[in-house]
Amino acid sequence: MTRLLLALDEQWPTRPDCPWVLLGPDGQPVSEGHSEPRHWPAAAECEVVLTGAQCLWLEVLLPRAARRDLPRLLAYALEDRLLKDPDTQHLTLTHRRPADEADKDLAGVLVIARERLRNLVAQLTAIGRSPRRVMAEVQTAPAGGDSWQLSLGPAGAILRCDAHGGLALDTDILSPLVAGQAAAARAANRAPAGLELHAAPGLPLPDLPALEADSGLPTRSGAPYQWWQGASGKAANLLNGDFAPRSSTSRLAAIGKPLALAGAALGIWLAATVGEVLWLKHSLSGIGERIERVYRSSFPNAPAVAPAAQMRQQLNLERARHGLLRDDDALALLARATEALGNDAAGSVAALRYEEGRLDLTLSGQGAARAEAVVGLLASRGVLADLRRDGATLHLLLRPETLQ
């Protein structure tokens, strides 16, 4: 199963282009790039990493209590640490660990504005890229060891002091910010062994001697920073609570219903289904009559045999008279297939054949590997396509009657 990972900064979707990477079933990158949504490759699933300071990762002291009390306790604990009302923020618990006080825990929580998360999910869903997971770069950036890890990416810098927290820093004033964090750590007797820098490919490293002099920490460069490497199953998913996908919410809501209600629920469902079928049958009949009336008023001298197909035929004739493409022309079908294949279209089509209104594409390479995802993407855009295997050769078939 392929996964498309998107790195969205605080300017998205106002500035629609973003870095992306396509991961294969083995979790390794198949392709990567930086482009607008119309050039993103097809994939079975979509996941998002929110870069920079869009999310705040805090650790708060909480009394030990039942899980159902966590939202109330978190909102109370964060009230004096947030600039805005906690009710306007979406909270995601990342971890709990024992505190020095015996009856309390330290809880990690990711904070993001509800409106920002709601808009992101709505925009991605509207373009057919509904996200399965949304993660925060402050958590996915590398961490670990006795040294602090400083990762430099296109959207800014992420400082990971340990595995339980992360902080987004402005690269324009990076040195004084790191120096301030180091001074605070020394004052709390938690100074690290050093500072390790990771820069994304193509980004220059800052002045390491100057950064070491300002922070007082031994500084060295580490492995390149790949923003997508930390987006594993261990990172917290911000799509929880009110933002959980409907399918997950429905399954959770169904668990634990009393068995005595099952029969009543089944009876209600059957009654509703029968009523819906009758209503749809009536609606379909009405639609057919309305189509026939529109056709007779538009073409009064032509017999109405199959009005929808006849109107479509007339539309294609008018398109041809005005020099426009018919929907069964080879170029029209090829444009839809190319759009679905995305950046890999040029290397994915080994041969093509067009005969009697049917386009037959012989797929190879990445196109063949992602054939099922391409068919699904075409379906989400109103196009039905068929796959046919001829020995080791895979064909993608588009027919004029499948276009809406």
Q: What is the C-alpha separation between 7 and 302, in angstroms, rounded? A: 56
Q: Among 225, 246, 270, where does a domain finish?
A: 225
Among residues 321, 338, 356, which one ends one of the domains? 321
Count the alpha carbons within 13 Å of 257 in the hemisphere toward its beta carbon.
12
Give the relative orientation of helices 371-380 and 330-341 as an angle to the nearest 10 degrees.
110
Same domain, 392 and 290: no
**Mean pLDDT, to the nearest integer, of 118-139?**
93
pLDDT for position 282? 81
DSSP-derived pairing of the beta strands 18-23 and 3-8: antiparallel
- Token digits of residue 237: 């998913």
pLDDT at 328: 65
Measured distance CA(353)–CA(333) in Å, rounded: 11
Coil, helix or strand for 103? coil
Most confident of 154-158, 280-284, 342-346: 154-158
Average pLDDT over residues 17-26: 93
| DSSP category for residue 223 | S
pLDDT digits (tens, 9 = 90+) for 194-205: 999 999 998 888
Are both 71 and 183 inside the same structural domain? no
As a residue count, the chain comes to 404
CATH code, 216: 3.30.420.40
Q: Are residues 293 and 152 in the same domain?
A: no
Q: Tell me the C-alpha to C-alpha distance, in Å, between residue 141 and each of 70, 90, 198, 269, 396.
A: 26, 21, 10, 48, 40
| pLDDT score of 78 | 79
What pLDDT sits at residue 382?
63
| Average pLDDT score over the chain | 84
Digit-coded pLDDT (tens) for 312-335: 677 777 777 887 877 667 787 788
Q: Which domain holds residue 207?
A: 142-225
Q: What are the phi and psi torsion angles at 29 (to 5°)?
A: -65, 130
312, with CB counted inside 10 A (0-12, 13-18, 19+), is: middle
One domain, residues 77 and 14? yes
With beta carbons less than 8 A apart as the criterion, state whether 93 and 136 touch: no
Of the two residues 213 and 83, the one the predictor is more confident about is 213
Buried b (16+ CB within 10 A) or exposed e, 228-266: bbbbeeebbbbbbeebebeeeeeeeeeeeeeeeeeeeee
**Poorest-confidence range of 84-93, 311-320, 350-359, 364-373?**
311-320
Q: Are 114 and 146 part of one and the same domain?
A: no
Task: Tell me the per-residue pLDDT of 226-244, one tens digit each, with 9 for 90 and over.
Answer: 999 888 768 899 998 888 8
Residue 343, φ and ψ in degrees, nearest 5? -65, -20
User: Where is the domain boundary, 175, 210, 225?
Assistant: 225
290, 372: one domain: no
CA distance 387 to 398: 9
Confidence of residue 255 (pLDDT cuts 50, 70, 90): low
| Predicted TM-score (pTM) of this structure | 0.59
Mean of the pLDDT values across residues 77-85? 76
The domain total for the chain is: 4
Do 231 and 220 reside in the same domain of the chain? no
